[in-house]
Chain A
Amino acid sequence: MLLPLAEAIERHVADGASVALEGFTHLIPFAAGHEIIRQGRRNLHLIRMTPDIIYDQLIGMGCARKLTFSWGGNPGVGSLHRLRDAVEHQWPQPLELDEHSHAGMAAAFCAGAARLPFGMLRGYAGTDLPAHNQNIRRVQCPFTGEMLAAVPALNPDVTILHAQRADRAGNVAIDGIVGAAREAALAAKTLIVTVEEIVDALPPAMNAIVLPHWVVSAVVACPGGAYPSYAHGHYVRDNAFYRQWDAIARERASFLAWMEQHVLGTRDHRAFLAGLQQEAA
C-alpha cells in the first residue's frame, strides 16, 4: 500500500496504459508525472480535463499517443506550446485527440465512477464537436423522448491524484478545490495517490473528501508533489512559474534543455525542487 513513488509508477503504469492525472488547477500530481517521464513510458492515453503544464511535458517528451481533454491551455497565460506542436506539426509524434467540453468530460467521469456505460447531459447543442468526435453522440430519453448528448464512460487504467494527507490505512483526505478528483479516482481500475503527509489519524472533517482505503491501490508520501500547482494549506500556486513556462516551452530546444536538466537530470521530486530553489537563489 505505502510505496515509494518510483516503485508505484514502475508497478502500476505500463506502456500503452490509459492514465488520468487529475486535479483541477489545484493538487496536480506533478511529481508522479515527472516520474513517468523519467521512467520513459510510451504510447500512453492521457486523460485530463485541463492538460496543464504536466501534460505539455509528457506530450513533449514523447510519452503520449492519445489525449482525452476538455480545455488545453496554460491557464491565464495562453497556449500549451508542446500540445500545440504535437497537434499542428506531429512533434515529437502524432497525438490523437478525444476532445470534449468540461460538462461532457465530467459526465464521462461520473459514469465511469458509477460503472455505467455512458454519461448523459444536455450539452454540445449547436457545436461542431460531435462532427469530429465519435465519442459524442445522441441518446433518446425512454420516458420523455427528449434527445440528450451521450459520452462513453471514462474508466482509466490508472488514476493518479495528489492529496493533502492520508492515514496509515490508506484513507485519503482532500480539501479545497476538488474538481473531478473523486469521480476520476472512483472511475479508475488502479488508483495511486501521492500526499503531502501521512498521519496517524485524519482530522475529523465530515464533508472533506475521503477516498476510503479499499479503493486506493497505492499511497506515496511526496511533500511538494503538486508544485508548481498547489496544495491548499501547504503551499500556493506558483503563478510566476506558469508564466515562465510559456517561454521555456515555446521552442523545442529550450523545452528539451529544461526537461533534461530539471526532470531527467534529477533523481526524484526532492532533487527537482532543490534544483529550482538553487536556481531562484
Chain B
Amino acid sequence: MTSTVNLEGKTLSSTIAKLNAPLMQAFDPRLSSESPVAIIPTPTYNTQAQRLADFDTLTAALEYAAAGAAGYNFYDAKGNLRSVLPYRALRLNARTSAQRLLSLGLVSGDRVAIVADTTPEFVELFFACRYAGLVPFAMPVPVNLGSHAVYVQQLRGMLEGGQASAALANTDYIAFLQEAAEGSQGLRWVGTPEQLGKLSAPDIALNANDPDEIAYLQFTSGSTRIPRGVIITERALMSNLRGIVRNGLEIHAGDRCASWLPFYHDMGLVGMVMAPMVAQVSVDYLATRDFAIRPLQWLRLISRNRATVAFSQPFGLKLCTLRVRDSDLEDLDLSSWRAAGVGAEMIRPDTLRNFAEKFAPAGFDARAFLPCYGLAESTLAVTFSQVGQGFQSLRVDASTLVDRKLAIRLQAEGRKYSEFVNCGRPLPEHTVKVVDDAGQELSDLRVGSVLVHGSSIMTGYFNNPQDTQKTLQPGNWLDTGDLGFVFEGDLYVTGRRTDVIIVNGRNIRAQDIEELAEQQPEVRTREASAFGITDTNDVTTIVLVIECRLTSTTDRQALTSRLQRLVYMAFGVNCLVELVPPHTLPRTSSGKLSRFAARQGFIQRTKLTDQLSAESGDI
C-alpha cells in the first residue's frame, strides 16, 4: 500500500495528459478502463520535527524523513498530479530495490547508470543504490531532433567512463540504452525498473553507509568525448546540503519546493531532490520537457501549491518571460515564492529585471531573487547571496575590464559598461579566492580565475587522474574554470575561460566541437577552433573556424552544411562556420591553437566588435 500511487493512464480522455507516458504504454489496453482516483500531494506542513540536514549520510536522512508526511509529487504537462512518492514510500521501495540490485551480484562500490527522466522510479533507484552501497550516476535523456546516434554514443561514453556494472532506463529510453550497452564488457545487467521489479528481493541485510564512501558520480559534459564523472563522497554531499538548506535557503517549516530542473543536472539532483529531502520538505516536479514547452506550468505549480523555493537557470527565467502570455498572469499568484534561486550559468541582470517586471502583476517579489554560484565539482553550491534581499549588481567600466582586468565601478554615465550580478558569499567551511595566471591571489576588484576550497569539493574525476590533477590544484584548491572578482567578500562571476561555451544554459566544451570537425576527412587535426560570441542581447552563438584547402564552392558549401548539421545533432544548437586559408588560426609557441586569439581574429575579420557584449572572457 505504501508503494507509489501511480495515476498513469487515468486521464486518458486528454491525450496531452499522456505527455510523459511512453508511447508503448499509451497503447496498453489495461490502462484505459480505470476510473480516475483522487490523490492529494504530500503536505507542506510536516508531522515531524524539522531537522536541517544534520545527518552523516543520505540514507540516514531518508530514514528520518520517512517518519514524516512529506515527499515528492510528480505533475504532468497539463498540471495533473500523476504520482505521489512520500519519503516513507521512497524508503520502503528503495530498500526493496536495493536488495534486488544486490541479487544481481553487484558489490559495494559498483556503479549503476540510470537514465534520469523526471519520474519516481529514478529517485527510487538512486536511493536504492545508496542503500545497497552502490554508486549511482544519472544519465541524460535525448532532447534534439535526429540525435539518435549521438545520444547512443553519449550513453556509451558514460557507461564506459563510469565503468558501470548495471544500467537502467524506463521503457521510453531502454532501446537507446541497450544499443549503447552492446559489446560492453563490464555491464552485468541492463533493463527497465519494471524488469528489476520482477526479480525477487532476497532478504539481504542493508548496511549503513560510511561518510567517506562515494555517494554518486555526476557527469559534467554529455558529448562526444569520454565524459568526466565527478566523484562526490557522502561527507562532501552532506556538507553541501547543510550549507544549502541552513545558510543558503534558511529552510523553515512551511517551505515547499517546485522544480522542473532535470534530475541528471547537479542543480536538479542535489538542489531539488536531495536538499528538500534532508530537510523533510515536500517537492512538486514538472518534467523538464514539459516546462520547456509550456513554462507557465511551473509557475502555476508554484502558485497553486504555494511553493516558497524554486530554482532555475537564467535561461529558464528567460523562457518564462518570453513564452508566458500576459493573459495568463491573471490566474497566477506568485507571492508565496520567497527564494527564487538563480544559478548554473552567468546571470545577466537584465534577465532578472525582465522576469521581475513581467511577473510583478502576478505577485512576484523581486526580493525573492537569490543568485548563487556553484558547480558539480563542489557538489553543487559554493556561494549564496542573502536570502530575501533580491539581487545586487555592480556596473563596471567595460574597457578597463578588458584592458586591465580590473573592475572599476562606473563613475560617469554614458561610458560603455558591463554589469555583473553579486553571487554572494561562500557557504561555511568554504573559501573562494581569485588568482592570476601565475596562481597569485588577487585583491578586490581584480579579475582572475575563481578557485574554491572547502568541505564539499570532489575527490576527483572518476578514473581520470590527468584531469583531476589539472582541476584540483595543490592544497586542494578547485579550479572552477570561471573568471571573476571578489568585492567586499562577495563573488562576482564575469565569464568562462574559453574552453566552455554556454548556449541556452547548456555547457558545451569547445574541444568537443573541434573534435567533431576534425573527424571530417577535409579537416586536419589542430585546424579547427571553436568559441562562443555573445551579442548585446545576450544571445550566444557558436563559431567554428576551419582552415580549409578546398577550392570548389560546392565542396566548401558541402563541408559547411555537414559541420552545421553535425554540431546541431550533437549539441542541439546552430553554429556559424567560417572557412579560412591554412595558417590563418593563431597558434601558441607550442603549436597549440589559441581559441582566445582565434576569437579575436574572427571578430576583427567580421567587424563585430560593437555588437558584442564585453566579457572578461575577452581578456
A, B co-complexed: no
